[in-house]
Amino acid sequence: MLQSIDWSLVDWSRAQFALTAMYHWLFVPLTLGITWILAIMETIYVKTGDPEWKRLTKFWMKLFGINFAIGVATGIILEFEFGTNWSNYSWFVGDIFGAPLAVEGIMAFFMESTFIAIMFFGWNKVSKKFHLASTWLTAIGANLSALWILVANAWMQSPVGTQFNPDTARNEMTNFFDVLFSPVAVNKFLHTIGSGFVLAAIFIIGISAWFLLKKRESRLAFRSITIAAILGLLASVHLVLTGDGSAKRVAEVQPMKLAAMEGLYDGKEGAGLVGFGILAAKEKREAETGEEFIFKFEMPKVLSWMAYGDANHFVAGVNDFKNGNPERGILSIPEKMQRGGIARQALDDYKRAKASGDTARADSLKGLFSDPEFLENNFKYFGYGFHDDVNYFIPHVPITFYSFHIMVILGFGFVLYFLIFLFFASRGELQKRKFWLRLAPWVIPLPYIASQAGWVVAELGRQPWTIQDLLPTVAAVTRIDSGSVIVTFILFALTFTVLAIAEVKIMLSAIKTGPKNEGGTR
């Protein structure tokens, strides 16, 4: 166990990282989605030669540029925090976390930054086809950048392709492709990119609806809504499918998170999927009746079927993981703490034997960390040996539950939303549907809320782990004074808020100005 824990340091370090990550993610999804829409619009311009498509592309490109600049600033700060606030984590992950970030910096970031300059400033300076290629490469670069970040995050959720080195107390990569193509990484990337498409489509529809209401740029607005609704519908259906795949991966590698997502405290066979509900208070849940919900809308057996492909499959609950369920082969948290403690003790003993020159004992202990039985029975739970409070290893169920269901409800709502706009656009009735046009700008915040809720589920739902089962937050933080973290938290909060307000004001100004006249009719 850790000798002393500065909970203020842990909590403020987590809060600072969460603040930076959530602000950063206000800007990233729009970048991921709108770049592809820009590329499609410019492709139509190059194919048709219609200058109105060029005006349209340049207008949305301007809004993308404003968003992109702020996103880069917050992203740089986020990566620095791994070294300043989470240096023990950075050490423990060895080359595994650094490798995807290095690839992201070398390949994706430079690719993106090179071609984005041509995309913005190359109009009439390079050929149409070369400019179009630059726009497509910017879109590819932006999404490749996200890929490597998401691969790194997926490894934290499900560490694969790695081996622990007791000499350095670091994890070292054994198979790059296991890390890159792990099922968690693949699903996370596809789901995240899909969310960017949905957000960008709703963003474009909302602004285009405003133009229609103002009786400005009607032709351009209609074209924008049509393309955004088509791509948004495809992306929202894609989100549902990849969300199902992600849930299966969570059931496999993070079953405690799955239980928290569904507010499931006591496991059951044929578990139902909660469409929505209100969780009961702890006192009521722990009473004789054991009620988990005040009310809920539940689809019988759907959770078992979605997670395991079997409508009658047993789905473990929070209490099964806390107290253990021998019949189902589930170890309790105290058992995992004991096994993790054995692994930690073996590492400490190895270091002492090596330092004292006891070569025979050192070799024997070192061999444990390559012994499959020891790895499976003890080192697998290494992170549980850092703390002695059972409740510390249980995520915050209410926040995880509500965040998950907000995300899911909004996700299905977006499918209907795109269908409605696509239906009106196909019938040429957009300008007649004043209610939906007035509603559209107010819908813009909803995909941002859904996207943030998704990350709350992904990150808070796996707490207290920075690396699942191997390294908890209490062991990952940098041993610095908590006061310095508090000061930087306040500074970052003020700076990010100012940047966000500035971006909104600049965007609103650009929207009110509208597309520049490129020689076509307004």
Q: What is the pLDDT of residues 194-217, one digit of tens each?
A: 999 999 999 999 999 999 999 988
CA gap 287, 281 in Å, rounded: 10
Which ranges of 161-217 would DSSP assign to H, the alpha helix? Answer: 176-180, 183-213
Q: What is the pLDDT of residues 471-481, one digit of tens each?
A: 999 999 999 99
Q: What is the pLDDT of residues 47-95, one digit of tens each?
A: 999 999 999 999 999 999 888 877 777 777 887 888 889 999 989 987 7
Write out the two tokens for 479.
């041993």
Cα–Cα–Cα angle for 245, 422, 53, rounded to 5 degrees: 105
Q: What is the pLDDT of residues 396-424, one digit of tens each?
A: 999 999 999 999 999 999 999 999 999 99
At residue 522, does pLDDT exceed 60? no
CA gap 445, 437 in Å, rounded: 15
Tell me which DSSP letter residue 281 carries: P
At residue 296, does pLDDT exceed 80? yes
Quick one: average pLDDT of 362-380? 94
The pTM of this model reads 0.92
Listing DSSP states for 56-95 in one string gives HHHHHHHHHHHHHHHHHHHHHHHHHHHHHT-HHHHHHTHH
CA gap 499, 18 in Å, rounded: 17
Share of the chain above pLDDT 70, in %: 97
CA atoms within 13 A on the CB side of 307: 26
What residues have CB less than 8 Å from 61, skipping those under 6 apart? Answer: 38, 119, 120
For residue 144, the model assigns a pLDDT of: 87
CA gap 31, 502 in Å, rounded: 17
Contact 199, 193 (CB under 8 A): no
Contact 311, 270 (CB under 8 A): yes
pLDDT band at 521 (very low <50, low <70, confident <90, very high): very low
Listing DSSP states for 315-370 in one string gives E--HHHHHH-BGGGTBPPHHHHHHHHHHHHHHHHHHHHHHHHT-HHHHHHHHHHTT
Write out the two tokens for 510.
């650009």
For residue 501, the model assigns a pLDDT of: 92
Closest CA to 477 of 141, 1, 8, 3: 8
Listing DSSP states for 96-131 in one string gives HHHHHHHHIIIIIIHHHHHHHHHHHH-TTTS-HHHH
Radius of gyration of the chain (CA): 25
For residue 2, the model assigns a pLDDT of: 56
CA gap 312, 301 in Å, rounded: 7
pLDDT band at 444 (very low <50, low <70, confident <90, very high): very high
For residue 246, the model assigns a pLDDT of: 87
What residues have CB less than 8 Å from 16, skipping those under 6 apart? Answer: 81, 85, 485, 488, 489, 492
